[in-house]
Structure 1
Amino acid sequence: MKIKDELKAAVISLSENDQNFESLALEVFKFQADQNPVYKAYLKNLGVKPSKVSHLEKIPCLPISFFKSHSVISGKAAIQHTFESSGTTGELSSKHYISDLPFYEYLSAKTFEAFYGPLTDYHILALLPNYLERNNSSLVYMVQSFIYKSFSTKSGFYLNNIEALAKKLELLVNQKNTKKKVLLLGVTFALLDLIEQHAPNIKFPENLLIMETGGMKGKRKELLREEVHELLTADLKVEKIHSEYGMTELLSQAYSKGDGWFKPSATMKILLREVNDPFSYLPSFKIGSKTAAKRNYRKTGGINVIDLANIDSCSFIETQDLGNFSEDYQEFKVLGRFDNSDVRGCNLMTI
């Protein structure tokens, strides 16, 4: 489909704070409003006429739970792969149907390198046990593509063998004639297991970068991100813990270089909706006055994500995460999740 290819080319060309983001988002919206049956029906039930939507903030966001109950697909391209969330026992998992894996691989690598430099500068050690136990994790797929692009024979995945990871870290302490950095990327509970079992006895590389992907996955008591980072920085001898914000339903990522403040990629924009009204946004520099924005930047709201990489599914997602903005509105923090996981907009769907 020619229009989809043109949209993808435009998304690839986006740069940070690109002035074309809004106009491109509106183009993607009109495409998906026509070519995505689920989103089209949702808009109809809301009484929204796509031709009347002329501003970014007026684009309705689809509740993320639709990825559990419906096939959210735009266009008729063949499905190459399905990313699936882990979920819990008895709970439906989210499914994200992917028809262009090279597009995802290219954008995810471009995003990482925009934040951290070339992948070839890293040895990548991935401690993702619960994700590796599934063969359809978007995170594992992304990290696997990063490992290939790192061109490092020392990069690799670790399931439950934390001892082997500890030995690899010690080996990398003694690496000679290389300027490669070490990226240890892990799910939170596994990183905590590492420090409890081996941290006192390990010598860590000086150029070690720790990145947590969040989540205890029922393995441990849930902790605040600040608590986790305090434990990890103390035992892993690093100043900051980096973080990645992504999910099955999104193809773009946001990264934090410390203190839990995330910066979205060039293909992603974050908006915060009122907690009790999914169709109203909190003030920001673009919505309302700058004075109102200054007063409200720390106010908590529901996180809506505009992900222009999601051209083949839906780019406008109402998540179940809560967050707030930094004072300059360039970064956001994830504070938790809604207690009630049923998003009110869902009951508008009858298809």
Structure 2
Amino acid sequence: MSIREELKSALVHLGSDPRSFEDLALEIYRYQFHQNPVYQAYASSLNKTPDQVKRLEKIPFLPISFFKSHPISTGFSEPQVIFESSGTTSSTTSRHLVKDLALYEVLSRKTFETIYSPLSDYHIFALLPSYLERNNSSLVYMVENFIYNSFSKFGGFFLNNTEEMVDRMLAADHRKILLIGVSFALLDLVENTALVKKLEPIRDRLIVMETGGMKGRRKELIREELHEILTQGFGIKTIHSEYGMTELLSQGYSKGEGVFELPPYMKVLLREVNDPFTYLPHFAIGQKSGPHKQRTGGINVIDLANIDSCSFIETQDLGVFTEDYKGFKVVGRFDNSDIRGCNLLLSS
């Protein structure tokens, strides 16, 4: 068995495998250091070679902008697909070279079903017009896989035909109804009050999940303001959220109030805003000692599913941990970062 296949097996079985998250992360770091020229050059420039890195917090995180300027690839096999970010019409987009679509499908389904329940419990309706206008969106690929594995004849993708979508929701049987949509499209929908009123009979089994993003179609809103508008518009108690991006193959999910849960192969660290190489106290989710002080930090993501690209990404998002350190919130972005499709303004 190759090193990659051994690491992949450990990744899929993380939790039942004797290796801890830190052990596996360090193994993947060493593998990517030796097999990814871009990551090796960056890590070496920081003197973060395998001889120097013995703990999780010492692993170097690649700035997310490298996905725009360089091909980020571990190993020498060709990608099966290249996912590309939405960005804006004037911006350079990120490109993620994905070499194992089957792994992406398995882990994305596993993540959703661990945090929620089996996909067969849902009718899934996707309102992702800006993503459907492209043919290389990781989100569209994931949701398409979800719809297929839900075995529902009612769900599907909808561009601007929201009346047909609502009619099919009303015709759907007793399962829960998951409406996953980009923010501006969900706002457009709730402004059609007569159409949304028709959802009254199914409101108790309706889950609305926003993926963020105005895509230049509307004014950016902070997440709390967006959720307030959507909860009132749909007449439901909470809005769910998905935290994902082109550069990551794993996702986090929030069941309300913007608090994200993560799968076992994903972890968030918060770095000091003015020092990217220093972490806020108790950097590991789940480790707590002493009183909690809610501090904002830059979000670093460890995504072990990125085994063929780079598992250690320094994002431009800002976040805070919850009091028990088991979840986190996204509260904005660094001022000088690029406008991204999933942008949310900094909460005051």
Structures share a fold, TM > 0.5?
yes
Please, which of 297, 310, 326 is the counterpart of residue 301 of structure 1?
297
**Pair 1:211-2:204 in alignment:** no
Cα distance in 2, alignment partners of residues 108 and 220 from structure 1: 29
Aligned equivalent of 2:253: 255
Q: What pairs up with 1:131-280 in 2 under 5 angstroms? A: 131-172=131-172, 175=173, 178=174, 180-197=175-192, 198-205=195-202, 206-280=204-278
**Pair 1:330-2:330 in alignment:** no
Q: CA deviation at 1:164?
A: 1.6
**Pair 1:290-2:289 in alignment:** yes
Q: CA RMSD in A?
A: 1.9
Spell out, residue by residue over 1:257-315, the C-alpha distance to the aligned partner (whole angstroms, 9 max, x if none). Answer: 10000011111000000001111101016599823xx343x100000000000000000
Spell out, residue by residue over 1:74-129, the C-alpha distance to the aligned partner (whole angstroms, 9 max, x if none). Answer: 00122100000011122110000011000000000000000111101111000000
1:290 alignment partner, SS class? coil
Gaps of 5+ in 1: 343-351
2:326 alignment partner, SS class? coil
Cα distance in 2, alignment partners of residues 196 and 204 from structure 1: 19
Cα distance in 2, alignment partners of residues 215 and 232 from structure 1: 14
Paired AA for residue 194 in structure 1: L
Cα distance in 2, alignment partners of residues 5 and 154 from structure 1: 38
1:169 and 1:289, CA in 2 relative to 1: closer, same or farther beyond 3 A? closer
Spell out, residue by residue over 1:158-188, the C-alpha distance to the aligned partner (whole angstroms, 9 max, x if none). Answer: 012222222222323xx3xx4x111111111
Q: Which runs of 4+ in 1 moved over 6 A?
A: none
1:171 and 1:285, CA in 2 relative to 1: closer, same or farther beyond 3 A? same
**Identity across the alignment (%):** 60
**Pair 1:340-2:341 in alignment:** no
Cα distance in 2, alignment partners of residues 53 and 272 from structure 1: 19
1:78 alignment partner, SS class? coil
Cα distance in 2, alignment partners of residues 289 and 120 from structure 1: 37
Aligned equivalent of 2:75: 75
Paired AA for residue 57 in structure 1: E
2:147 touches 2:155 (CA, 8 Å); kept in 1?
Answer: yes
Aligned equivalent of 1:314: 310
**Number of equivalences:** 334
1:33 alignment partner, SS class? helix
1:258 alignment partner, SS class? coil
Q: CA deviation at 1:237?
A: 2.2
1:210 alignment partner, SS class? strand
Aligned equivalent of 2:24: 24
Paired AA for residue 199 in structure 1: V
1:20 and 1:69, CA in 2 relative to 1: closer, same or farther beyond 3 A? same
Paired AA for residue 200 in structure 2: K
